[in-house]
A and B are shown apart, each in its own frame.
Chain A
Amino acid sequence: MSQELLYWQALNRAMDVEMAADEAVFTLGEDVGLYGGSYRVTEGLHAKYGEWRVRDTPISENSFTGLGVGAALVGMRPVVEIMTINFLPLALDSIINGAAKIPFMSGGQFRMPLVVRMPGGVARQLGAQHAQRLEHTLMNVPGLRIAVPSTPQDAYWQLRQAIASDEPIILLEHELLYFSKGPVDLLADPPPMHRAALRRAGRDLTIVTYSRHALLSQDAAAELAKEGIEAEVIDLRSLKPIDWDTCASSIEKSHRLLVVEEDCRFAGAGAEIASALAERCFYSLDAPVRRLAGLDIPTPFNGTLEAATIPQVSDIVVAARALCQSGQESKAS
C-alpha cells in the first residue's frame, strides 16, 4: 500500500518511525527543534519527543557533530543534521578523524551508529557558499558510507536503514528534491541501502547517475526515446560503496557509458565512476566513456549563469546522442 508523499515528508516519517521504535535514536542540529528544521524534516518531532531527543544546538558544527560521535560510542543512535553541506567543512574533523576512524583504530571495540544528514546541491540562486555538492570530499574517506536518495521512497528507506546501521552513514539530500512528490510504501521491504536502481531500461547506452540528476537523466531518456535512442538509466542511490555489478551488467548490454553528475568534474564522483567502470568493462565498450558534470567553477549567483554550470536535460540529450554516434564509424569500417 503506497501513498503519495513529498521527499521531506518521507524523511520526517522515517525519523518518527525510528524515534518511536528506539529511545536511543535522537537528533540534533541547528533549528531542528522548535523551528522544525530548515527543510521541515524534523517538523513535529520536538513536540512529540522533547528537547533531549530533538536538540536545538548552537552554531557549532564541529562540536555538535562530535557530540554525535561521542554519543554513538556509548550506544546512542544520533542523527546529526548539518543545515547545509556547505557547512560540512566546519564539521569535517568530527566526521573524518572521529566517526570514520574510531571503530578501526580501536581495533573494533566500538560501534559508530551515527547518521549525518545534509541538504546540498545547486538550488535556486543561493550563491557560491550555498550551492556546493562536496560528495567527493567524503567518498575518499575509508570507514564512511554515503547514501544519495533521489525519490521519496528511497529517502524513507535509506534514512531508516542509515539509523539502523552500526556504521557511520552520510545521507546527502538534494535541496531541490524536498518538495518533489512520489509514492512511498511504508511497509515494503527495502533493497540493500547501497543497491543501485534501474530507473529505465534501454539497449543503446547506459547512463549512470545519482541524486537529482537521476531524475533529469530520466527526463533526458524520454526525449532520446523520441528519436529512437533507448537509454538505460541507473540511479546509484549510494556513492560509497557503489553497486558496480548493476552498472557493469548494463554496460555489457548497451556497450556505451555516460556518467552524469552535478558535482564539479575534476576529481569528482564521476571521475571515480568512469575510471572504475572503464577498467572493469573496457572490452564491452564500443566508445570511450563520456562524462557530463558541473563546471569547475564556484556557482555564480546569476540565475542564467548558475544553470549553465550544471548539466541540464538538454545537455544530457546532446551528450547521449554524441556518445551513440561515436564509435559507429570504426565499427562500420
Chain B
Amino acid sequence: MERDALHRLLRDMLLSRAFEERAAEEYAKGNIVGFLHLYPGEEAVGAGVINAAGPSDYIVSDYREHAHALIRGTPARNVMAELFGRADGMSGGMGGSMHMFDARRRFMGGYAIVGETCPIALGIAYTVAMRSLPEAVICFFGDGAVNQGTFHESLNMAALWRLPLLLVCENNHYAIGTEIHRHSAVVEVYKRAAAYNIPAERVDGMDVIKVYEAARRALERIRGGGGPQFIECETYRFRGHSMADPGTYRPAVEVKAHEAWDPISAAVREIEFRYPTPAELAAAGPDHIGQLAAHMVEAGHLAEIEIEALRKEVNAIVEDAVQFALQSPQPTMDAAWAHLNCNRRHEVLV
C-alpha cells in the first residue's frame, strides 16, 4: 500500500480513538447524556471499509457510528456537537449519539434498531441499480443483527435482484452482553451469506490493511455487476456495550488478550520505518531493487516522532471539537417543529 493511504488509515484510527476516549470523559463530566456506544477496538473496520469506498458510495450505519461519520469526513466539531445535543450537531441536536446523518457525504444515518439498517441500505441499493449508476451502498451491522428477520429478508432480496450492496458485519462477538456462542447457532457469521448465494469472506478486523483490501475487492466485484458482497470483520470492543455497561460479563483475561491485538498498534508496526531484510531484497530480484528503494523513500519514512505528531494533531482536533460543542447553542423548540415539518412545503394544515 502507498504511504499516503496508510497514513490516512492510521490517522483515521487515531482520530477515532482520541474522539471516543474524549467522549467518554465528557460523558463522565455530564456534557454528554443518554446512550453512548463507543468504538475503541473496532477502528480498523470503519477505517478500512470507509477508506475503500468512493465519495459517491453510500454508508448506512448503526448506533456505534461516531467514528464512521468521522472517517467519512464529517468534521469532528459537528459530530461532537451532536453528542452534546447542540444546534450545530450534524443532526441539529435532534438525533444524538445513535442518529447521526450527513446527507452531503452520503452518510445515511445511524440507526438504533438492530437489523433495521439492512432494509434501508437495500432500498438505496435498489435505487442505484434502477438508475444503473456505478455506486455502491455499504451497510454496517454487528453480529447481534444477523439474528433479525430483516437481515435475512434483505440478503434474500439483495441477491435476488443483484443489488450493489456491501454488507459489513462488525463481529465484536457480543450482542450487548450475550456472547456469540450463546446467541448464534452458527458462529462464523459469513457462512450465513451462503444461504443466499452471496459471496462472503471473513477477515481479521484488527488488521486495517486486510479490511481495506477486502473491502476494495468486494467493491470492485459490486461495480463489475457481481451483486451483493459480504465481509465479516472479526473485531473486539475494548469497552462495554455502552457507557451504562461495565462489561462484567466478559472475563478480564479475554479483554486483555484482545487489547494485545490493538489495531492501532498493529498499524503503527506496519507503517513504521524498517529496512528490508536481506531475504526480501533477494526475493525482489535485481530489477526490483531500485523500485523497492524508491518505495522505501516514499512510503517508509514514518518515524516514531511523526506518530507522536499525528497523535498531537488528532488530540488538537478533538479538543477543538469539544470547545466548539460547548459553545454551540441549544436547539430551540421552533427548530424541532421545523425539522418535523421539513417536508411539508407550503401546505398549511388545519
Q: Give chain A's interface residues, CB within 8 Å of chain B.
A: 26, 52-53, 57-58, 60, 62-76, 78, 93-94, 97-98, 101-113, 142-143, 165-167, 192, 194-195, 241-246
CB distance B350 to A60 under 8 Å? Answer: no
B280: CB under 8 A from chain A?
no
| A105-B99, A108-B342, A110-B103 known; A66 vs B91 contact (CB < 8 Å) | no
Fill in one digit per residue for B79-122: 1 if any A CB lies within 8 Å of its CB, else 0: 00000000001111111000101110000110111001011111
A70 pairs with B116, CB closer than 8 A: no
* Contact A69–B120 (Cβ < 8 Å): yes
**Given contacts A60-B156, A62-B119, A74 and B58 within 8 Å (CB-CB):** yes
Please tell me if the beta carbons of B157 and A60 are within 8 angstroms of each other in the complex: yes
Which of B123, B128, B153, B156 has its CB near the most chain A CB atoms (within 10 A)?
B123
How far apart are B122's CB and chain A's nearest CB, in angstroms?
5
Given A58-B156, A62-B150, A64-B157, are A107 and B89 also a contact pair (CB < 8 Å)? yes
Q: Does B284 contact A (CB under 8 A)?
A: no
Residues of B within 8 A of A242 (CB): 350
A194 touches B349 (CB 8 A): yes
Say yes or no: A70 contacts B126, CB within 8 Å.
yes
- Indicate if the CB atoms of A194 and B350 lie closer than 8 Å: yes
* A71 to B103 CA separation, bound complex (whole angstroms): 14
**Cβ of B90: which chain A residues have Cβ within 8 Å of it?**
107
Q: Which residues of B contact A143 (CB under 8 A)?
A: 340
Please report the total number of B residues contacting A with Cβ < 8 Å: 50
The one of A65, A71, A97, A101 in contact with B126, judged by C-beta atoms closer than 8 angstroms, is A71
Subset of 26 A-B contacts with CB under 8 Å: A58-B157, A63-B119, A63-B154, A64-B157, A66-B120, A66-B150, A69-B119, A70-B123, A70-B124, A70-B125, A70-B126, A71-B126, A73-B124, A102-B109, A105-B94, A106-B103, A107-B91, A107-B93, A109-B102, A112-B343, A113-B343, A143-B340, A166-B343, A194-B350, A242-B350, A246-B350
Tally the A-B contacts, defined by beta carbons under 8 Å.
Answer: 153
B123 (CB) vs chain A CBs: closest residue: A70
A70 in contact with B95 given A58-B157, A166-B343 (CB within 8 Å): no
Check A104 against B157 for contact (C-beta < 8 Å). Answer: no
Q: Which of B101, B153, B349 contacts A58 (CB 8 A)?
A: B153
Q: Which of the residues A63, A70, A76, A108 comes within 8 Å of B153, measured between beta carbons? A: A63
Bits for B158-179, please: 1 = Cβ < 8 Å to A, else 0.
0010000000000000000000
Q: Is the CB of A67 within 8 A of B119?
A: yes
**Which 4 A-B pairs have CB atoms at the shortest separation, nearest pair first?**
A70-B123, A66-B119, A107-B92, A63-B153
Q: Give the residue of B89, B109, B122, B338 whose beta carbon is less than 8 angstroms from that of A63.
A: B122
Determine whether B29 belongs to the interface, using a CB cutoff of 8 Å to chain A: no
Whether A67 touches B350, Cβ cut-off 8 Å, given contacts A105-B99, A109-B91, is no
Q: Is the beta-carbon distance between A70 and B122 smaller than 8 angstroms?
A: yes
Contact A63 B157 (CB under 8 A): yes
Query: Given the known A-B contacts A103-B343, A106-B103, A108-B342, are A60 and B153 also in contact in the complex, defined by CB atoms under 8 Å?
Result: yes
A68: which B residues are within 8 A, CB to CB?
123
Residue among B60, B108, B119, B124 with max Cβ neighbours from chain A (10 Å): B119
Question: Is there contact, CB below 8 Å, between B350 and A243?
Answer: yes
Q: Which residues of the other chain, A, contact B123 by a CB distance below 8 angstroms? A: 66-74, 76, 78
- B150 and A74 within 8 A (CB): no
Select from chain B the residue with minimum beta-carbon distance to A94: B119
Residue A74 contacts which of B95, B127, B160, B342 (CB distance < 8 angstroms)?
B127
Interface core residue of A69, A194, A241, A244 (most chain B CB under 10 Å): A69
- The answer to whether B101 touches A107, judged by C-beta atoms less than 8 angstroms apart, is yes
Partner-A contacts on B (CB < 8 A): 58, 60, 89-95, 99, 101-103, 108-109, 111-113, 116, 118-130, 149-150, 153-154, 156-157, 160, 336, 338-340, 342-345, 347, 349-350
Given A70-B123, A71-B123, verify A62-B149 contact (CB < 8 Å): yes
Give me 11 other A-B pairs in contact (C-beta within 8 A), A66-B118, A74-B124, A107-B89 excluded.
A62-B150, A93-B113, A94-B116, A104-B339, A105-B95, A106-B99, A108-B92, A108-B339, A166-B344, A166-B345, A192-B347
Q: Measured between C-beta atoms, what is the minimum distance from B97 to chain A in Å?
A: 12
Contact A65 B108 (CB under 8 A): no
| B307, chain A: closest CB distance, angstroms | 36
By a CB distance below 8 angstroms, the chain B residues around A78 are 123
Q: Would you call A109 and B101 a contact (CB within 8 A)?
A: yes
Query: Do residues A66 and B343 form an inter-chain contact, with CB atoms below 8 A?
Result: no
- Complex Cα gap A104–B93 (Å): 10
Question: Are B91 and A105 in contact, with the CB atoms below 8 A?
Answer: yes
Shortest Cβ distance from A114 into B: residue = B123
CA distance A67 to B349 in the complex (A): 29
Q: List B contacts of A67 (CB < 8 A).
A: 119, 122-123, 126, 157
Known A26-B130, A67-B126, A243-B350; contact A106-B119, beta-carbon cutoff 8 A: no
Q: CA A193 – CA B350 in complex, angstroms? A: 11
Residues on B with C-beta less than 8 A from A58 are 153, 156-157, 160
User: Given A60-B157, A76-B127, are A97 and B116 also a contact pair (CB < 8 Å)?
Assistant: yes
Contacts of A63 in B (CB 8 A): 118-119, 122, 149-150, 153-154, 157
Q: Give every chain A residue within 8 A of B338 (Cβ-Cβ).
A: 108
User: Known: A26-B130, A67-B123, A98-B120. Contact between A106 and B113, CB under 8 A?
Assistant: no
Residues of A close to B125: CB separation below 8 A:
70
CA A314 to CA B153, docked complex, whole Å:
47
CB distance from B112 to the nearest CB of A (A): 8
For A107, the closest partner residue in chain B by CB is B92
How long is the Cα–Cα vector from A57 to B153 in the complex, in angstroms? 10
**Residues of A with C-beta under 8 A to B343:** 103, 111-113, 165-167
Shortest distance in angstroms between A185's beta carbon and chain B's nearest beta carbon? 22
Shortest Cβ distance from residue B270 to the other chain A in the assembled complex, whole angstroms: 36
Q: In the bound complex, how far is the Cα of B350 from the Cα of A112, in angstroms?
A: 21
Chain B residues positioned under 8 Å from A71 (CB to CB): 123-124, 126-127
